[in-house]
Amino acid sequence: MSLQKLEQAKIYLLAFTNPDLKDICKLYKIKGFSSLNKEELINLILKSIPKSTFNLFLEDIEKKSLNTIISLVPIYFLKENPTKLDALHFDEKHNILSLKFKGFRWEINTNIDFVNLHKKDVPLTFKFNCTCEYAKDGGLCSHFWLGLIWAFQKFSIETSRWNRPKLPEIFNELRYKLDFKSFYKEIPKLEKSGINSVEEFLKINLMGKIEFKYEDLEDLSIKEILTFISQSNLKISEKEQIKPRKNNLIESIKNQLSIGEFNKIFFKFKKNYRISEAKKIPVEIVNVEWGPPLNCQARLSVIKQEEEEIINIFIENNQIKHTDCHWVYHRLNLCSHLIALFLKLSEKNPSNTLEYLKRFYRE
């Protein structure tokens, strides 16, 4: 058994708590662990695993330790946690991410240098250092994983670029769940690109989800899938044109587009499609005071189950109140009703609507 493998196993075991380590002892039928401290437990485990099964043991604890470490990431966002994420800065010129975590009387600093961040066809390469104890022993700590989740979220990095141990499911869950807005202030896309229309702004900013899978096609109707196929210049059989079936259409798309190609094309399709659908919703502006702050009341007429339904939207002192919508709304992913409202407001006063959206996305 190589010294390198022993060291690697020790790094993985450091991620576990004492009860976890004792559970490992029970699983591998190791005796004499009940009164040991963490360091003693780790040494006992490493001495007790037979050489013949050590590789399988290493794979097992690698998977478990990744889950354990990454599951710690959300606690850095909690007010009651002793150590919290305090600041996040990204150097765009050198592609270096700097994180600062603060406790009562301590501070942890983490830096990740993304060597080939924008080379999308090659495995992701990085240099990493952190002042925490776990990282000093050579492990990828929870502070590192928080930074990596931010980078995957921010730059839409495909998981296929991660050529190390397979990323556990919790990584992707947190990738779409965590909100870094209060820690990271970037130049709004509006200012970067000189966008001068509300529609352009919404197309760039309305999508919260940044990565799509073939399974997302299941949420579309057959008509919508056919529209996607047509706009993407994909081919389907004559039989499917006459009598289309959703499963067959999805299989046809899978056969013609790699997951990377699909994600890029589908992302663009969803944005354009949501804008076009929102334009079909009748909007009545009851009253509007441009301010600032913006105050507005609007009524929208939507068809549900072949019956007309009136949706009310209020903006009071810049705050949106939209309780009629079943879609729980958040800033990164506006519902169709709000998109329709902003498009209608832009017809009356495009510059003020644009300014409101600009401020809305900053906050």
pTM of the model: 0.46
- For 87-104, the pLDDT digits (tens) are 999 988 889 999 999 988
Q: Nearest CA to 103 among 129, 78, 134? A: 78
**For the chain, where are the alpha helices, taking DSSP H only?**
3-13, 18-27, 38-48, 54-70, 133-136, 142-155, 169-177, 189-193, 198-205, 222-231, 238-242, 246-256, 259-279, 336-348, 350-362
- For 158-176, the pLDDT digits (tens) are 988 988 777 888 898 999 8
- For 232-265, the pLDDT digits (tens) are 999 998 888 889 999 999 999 999 999 889 988 9
- For 174-226, the pLDDT digits (tens) are 998 898 877 775 544 444 445 568 888 887 766 555 678 898 898 888 988 99
Using pLDDT thresholds of 50, 70 and 90, give the confidence band for residue 329: very low
Three state DSSP letters for 80-96: CCCCEEEEEEEECCCCE
Q: Nearest CA to 231 among 192, 177, 270? A: 270
CB 262 within 8 A of CB 214: yes
Nearest-angstrom CA–CA distance, 335 and 341: 10
What pLDDT does 24 receive? 92
Backbone angles phi, psi at 186, to 5 degrees: -110, 165
What pLDDT does 332 receive? 45
CA gyration radius for the chain?
26
Residue 31 has pLDDT above 80, yes or no: yes
Where are the domains positioned within the chain? 3-70, 73-177, 198-276, 283-362
Q: Nearest CA to 44 among 54, 57, 55, 31? A: 31
Backbone angles phi, psi at 362, to 5 degrees: -75, -40
- For 266-325, the pLDDT digits (tens) are 888 888 888 888 899 999 999 999 887 889 999 998 876 677 888 899 998 888 888 666
